[in-house]
Amino acid sequence: MSCVVAFGGSRALPWVWRDRVRSVVRALLEFSSLSFAVGDAVGADQFAVEALVTFGAARRSRLFAVGAPGGRGAWTGTAVGTVSWAETRGAAVLWEAGGAAGLPLVGRLRGRTRACVRGASALVLWVASPGSRGSFFAAREAAESGARVFVFCCGEFAGDRLPRLAPVGAWLPVFGGPLVGAWEWVPARASQSGSN
């Protein structure tokens, strides 16, 4: 049985974080039981899609696009070219994942995010700011569905500034493994010791 790891994060993720995204993706590819889900935004999504294709994992990937093939219904925050390229390399693309192009953009973006994290066992985010609304919408959706949520802080802030995903729980640092350096949301019912 395959576990799904969803990737996402800030559209404004600084280019200097591209290699860190690539290294995390590459480390997770070592686990052959994993498949991957990613949105179509520029920034973190785009870096993750590029890494999956570059490292030969396009066929283990499902991409969720807000627009239609060719870019109809897309907007300036989407990486249509990267998603189309990944599709030619074997990635499965769910076009208009948040609804038809005629619907309001905000609703389509939220729908795309829900579709992407639905069924994921874990969500890994790279965020440029603790105020990244779209990223933490995805984090709350994933946490509410029971997925583990990991966040890499890609700016001058630490995990203690990340928004709470529920009334009770905490962000704890990850000390080992492929997600070392991230912060994991730990609901109150789970162990309150650091992640490994």
Q: In this predicted model, what pLDDT tens digit does every residue of 107-146 receive, in sequence order?
A: 999 999 999 999 999 999 999 999 999 999 999 999 999 9
The identity of residue 156, as a single letter, is E
E strand or H helix at 125: strand 122-127
Which phi and psi (to 5°) does residue 182 adopt?
-85, 175
Radius of gyration of the chain (CA): 16
Which phi and psi (to 5°) does residue 26 adopt?
-60, -40
CB 91 within 8 A of CB 58: yes
In which residue are the tokens 């493994």 written?
177
Kindly state the percentage of the chain with pLDDT values over 90.
92
At residue 2, the pLDDT reads: 74
* Structure-model confidence comparison of residues 56 and 196, the more confident one: 56
pLDDT tops 60 at residue 165: yes
Instruction: Tell me the three state secondary structure of residue 96.
Output: coil
Kindly state the percentage of the chain with pLDDT values over 70.
95
The span from the CA of 23 to the CA of 132, in Å, is 23
Pairing of strands 122-127, 169-173: unpaired
How many residues would you count in the chain?
Answer: 196
Q: What is the mean pLDDT of the chain?
A: 94
CB 82 within 8 A of CB 71: no
At residue 188, the pLDDT reads: 82
Which residue ranges form the domains of the chain, and what is each CATH number?
3-187 (3.40.50.450)
pLDDT tops 60 at residue 196: no
Q: In this predicted model, what pLDDT tens digit does every residue of 47-94 receive, in sequence order?
A: 999 999 999 999 999 999 999 998 999 999 999 999 999 999 999 999
> Distances from the Cα of 17 to the Cαs of 43, 45, 129, in angstroms?
9, 12, 13
